[in-house]
Amino acid sequence: MTMKRKSEESKENSTLKKIKTENVPGGIQKTTFKGTNKPLKGGPQKSPINAQKGGPQKSFTKPVKGGLPQKPGLKGGKERNNQTKGDIDITQSLTDTGASKSKKFRFEKSGGKKAGKFKKAEAPDKKPDWNEFKKKKKEVQKKRKMGNSQYDVVVESKKIWEQVRRADCPDEKKQKLLTKLHGLLKGKMDKIVFSHDMSRIIQWLLKLSSPQMRKEIVSELLPHTIAMIQSKYSNALVKHMLKNGDEATKNEVIKVLQTKVVTLLSHTTASPILMYAHDQVASPGQKLAMRQELYGGLYQSTGDAKISCLGDIFEKSPEMKSAILSVTKKTIIKCLQKEHITSSSLLHAVLQDFISHSGDSPDLTEVLEMLAPLPILQFVHSKPGSSVAMHIIWNATNKLKKNIVKELKGHIREVATSEFGHLALVTLLDNVDDTLLLKKALLPELLEVAEELAANEYGRKVLAHVNSWCDPGFYHPSFIVQVKAGDDFSTSKKDRDVRNKEIHEFVSDPLLASIASNPDFWLKTSSVAMVTAVILNNAVGPNLKEAFDSVATVLVDLDRKVKQEIRTPATNGAPAGAGEGIAKKKKKNNKKKAVKGEGEGEAEEEEVVFIEHAGFHMVLKKLIQHDKKNVEKNLPTLSESVVAKLSDSVLDTWTQCNRACFILVSILECGPETCVSELKSKLSSYKTNLSSQSFFGAKILLGKLE
């Protein structure tokens, strides 16, 4: 019984902690709920324990430790209001006579403090006069413009320009108007050049005016070039001066821009104009000067104009290396945070210089980590940018290489045929260990555009690379050095021979099928024939025999003629037999004279049989000489295909051609024994014809037959 009573008392005490009531005038009870912002529901409340209707209510206090009761209104010995922060009066706005539990708020009557605030706007009696509205709007705009001190000058300039721009305006009148316009704007251009309309007028004035007038306009605008290039409208005027100005104007503008390269490069509006000045207008010396600010003031302190890169400074002042690299790194990091700058060739040049001379410093690692997530396509359009892209690939993780492969998917044609982008693509193919990913993402697209790549100077390098890695018979030594530069620090782990073999096996047979189906294209020019020879000499697949047969068909086609350039230098009275000697000794001099049209060394074109063309002859000779290796591997040979298609008419023509005889000599030296025996049998009836020829090919062939 005692326990039950204690539990009831504890419940009552917990309720008393939350609810407090007191009497207010009018006999209405005021009840507050402590600690929350929610009022008690149901309006005025009675005391929860022994409350009598309309009677006085008791106030309860929370007992304190020690058993002593706390005095009303005190806490910790200090007075406080009975209604603390958080207590909410739920008897708001109730009348003295006892309001109902739910009182509705009503808007005040007219004449009150809020009179008219909630009144619905009355509909207009008639529609507004829009013409009158527009007229008033124009008047307001005109008044605002008239507040400008140059308003009269702008209005008068537009009137003059409207006459100048007319097609029926005579030249004499036009020059007078331009002179008048220049006199009107002289001394005021710096104030009006930043507006849309006046910047265009000044741009046309600069284009149509006399040289002296242009010089005066440029001299007036030059001090404001930095502000103009950052303006939305006047930056076009700066580009106009760079594009159409004379040499002196271009040099003066670039000289001004050199002082604020970092600021302008980071500016969204100014950076495209600065890039144009660097890429299209600036000389090599001016480009170097524009890069100097990105290296910091320490770079310029050397005072040597012959310094072309950071390496030249470090050779003369090794103690400055760490300081200059630190300043350059900060500038690069600042620029890389701006998305519109990452495609700038100016930044690419600085990055290439920084990467080349940083060695194994932590600064290089930090910069490469910032470059890693950037799109690789932003770097492949410039020479230094392509070098930066190669370093990114060499130092990339497998995950990053995978992302780069996915990024290049769909862009193989444009990257492979790019002057600088093909280097990045070759580097990627040479450093991705996941060849299965390459077979799914890049190589099928490469095979789809194989003929387009073969017709392109740079695309041919990509095709040759996937068939024969760094073939010294095809590539220039500088290309091989450039591709092998990353071998020391590349993150690739798979053996290079294994990787190249997997790629080659995937692309070889489809390329052979393309040659077999369209031999005319693959032997279209001597340049295309060079990459055809690389494909055939390294071929793996069942289509090799068909490809050789197709090439042999084109080779023995006597109706196929190709144009060959022949130079016939004038002898100037020299003996007829001396012409060949003159051609050999003065070949370069004759080419220069032919360009000038002086009548010596003029180029002539003549049609020759396909096999007599110098370029095709070299390619065919390489293919036939490679037959020795094919015989050892028990593979089909081109010699067999050619000999099988040699008819009497073909042999009759070939035995009268010098280079054709050398091709037959190569077959006798490199072809299979059965092929050699068959060819000797066919040539046995042409010995008399060969003995009557005076060229060396016929004599050597005759000696082989005997």
Q: Work out the pLDDT band at 599, boundaries 50, 70, 90.
A: very low
Query: Chain centroid to CA 100: how far?
Result: 75
CB contact at 8 A, 175 and 165: no
pLDDT of residue 237 exceeding 50? yes
**Buried-state track 32-52, b at ≥16 Cβ within 10 A, e below 16:** bbeeeeebeeebbbebeeeee
User: Taking the model in full, what pTM does it have?
Assistant: 0.71
Question: Widest CA span of the chain, in angstroms?
Answer: 149
Does residue 364 surpass a pLDDT of 90? no
Q: Classify 696 as helix, strand or coil.
A: helix
pLDDT for the residue numbered 300: 60
> Does residue 23 have a pLDDT over 70?
no
- Side chain identity at residue 404, one-letter code: I
Token pair in block for residue 516: 């077999």
Residue 28's beta-bridge partner residues? 24
What b/e string do you get for 250-289 counting C-beta neighbours within 10 Å, with b at 16 or more? bebbbebbbebbeebbebeebbebbbebbeebbeeebbbb
pLDDT at res. 46 = 46
Residue 498: the pLDDT is 93
685: exposed, middle or buried (Cβ count in 10 Å: 0-12, 13-18, 19+): exposed
pLDDT at position 92 over 50: no
pLDDT digits (tens, 9 = 90+) for 42-70: 444 444 444 444 444 444 444 444 444 44
Residues 611-620: tens digit of each pLDDT: 888 889 899 9
CA dist 153 and 174 (Å) reads 19
Residue 664 pLDDT > 80, yes or no?
Answer: yes
Give the H or E element holding residue 75: strand 74-75
pLDDT band at 298 (very low <50, low <70, confident <90, very high): low
In degrees and rounded to multiples of 5, residue 600 shows phi and psi of: -115, 140
* Contact criterion met (CB below 8 Å) for 416 and 453: yes
Q: Rounded mean pLDDT of 636-651?
A: 92
> If DSSP codes are grouped into helix, strand and coil, which group holds residue 431?
coil
- The average pLDDT across 519-543 equals 92
Residue 394 has pLDDT above 60, yes or no: yes
| CA-CA-CA-CA torsion sign (698, 700, 705, 706) | positive
Among 1-15, 245-259, 279-293, 648-662, the minimum mean pLDDT is found in: 1-15
More confident of the two residues 560 and 517: 517
Q: What is the mean pLDDT of the chain?
A: 79
Is the backbone of residue 608 left (phi > 0), alpha (psi -120 to 50) or beta? Answer: beta
State the Cα–Cα distance between residues 549 and 163, nearest whole angstrom: 74
| DSSP secondary structure string for all residues of 93-158 | T--TT---SSPPP-PPPTTSTTTTTTPPPPPPSS---HHHHHHHHHHHHHHHHHTSTTHHHHHHHH
pLDDT of residue 148: 64
CA–CA distance, 84 with 236 (Å, rounded to integer):
68
Specify the range with the lowest mean pLDDT, choosing from 75-84, 104-113, 223-232, 474-483: 75-84
| Cα(295)–Cα(354) distance, integer angstroms | 9
Q: What is the pLDDT of residue 321?
A: 83
* pLDDT value of residue 290: 87
Of 296, 283, 306, nearest to 350 by C-alpha is 296
Range of lowest pLDDT (149-153, 277-281, 338-342, 436-440): 149-153
Residue in 185, 203, 347 with CA at minimum distance from that of residue 261: 347
Q: Cα–Cα distances in Å, from 492 out to 393, 432, 502, 504? A: 10, 7, 15, 18
Bridge partner residues of 609 (DSSP): 561
| Confidence band, pLDDT 50/70/90 cuts, at residue 10 | low
**pLDDT of 13 above 60:** no
Q: What is the pLDDT of residue 403?
A: 92
For residue 309, pLDDT over 90 is answered with no
Average pLDDT over residues 8-37: 48
Please tell me the least confidently modeled range out of 20-24, 475-479, 623-627: 20-24
**What are 195's two structure tokens?**
């507006």
- Residue 391 is predicted with a pLDDT of 92
> By three-state DSSP, how is residue 365 classified?
helix
Query: Is residue 11 very low, low, confident or very high in pLDDT (cuts 50, 70, 90)?
Result: low
Q: Are 351 and 392 in contact (CB under 8 A)?
A: no
Model confidence band, residue 146 (pLDDT cutoffs 50, 70, 90): low
Q: Which residues pair with 33 in a beta bridge?
A: 19, 88
pLDDT at 289: 85
321 close to 288: Cβ distance less than 8 angstroms:
no
317-357 tens-digit pLDDT: 788 888 888 888 888 888 888 888 888 899 999 999 899 88
- Is the per-residue pLDDT at 77 higher than 70? no
Rounded to the nearest 5 degrees, what angle is found at the Cα of 543, between the Cα atoms of 539 and 544? 45
End-to-end CA distance of the chain: 139
Q: What is the model's pLDDT at position 424?
A: 94
> In this predicted structure, which of 6-15, 176-185, 268-277, 567-576 has the lowest mean pLDDT?
567-576
Q: Which residue has the tokens 């790549």?
A: 453
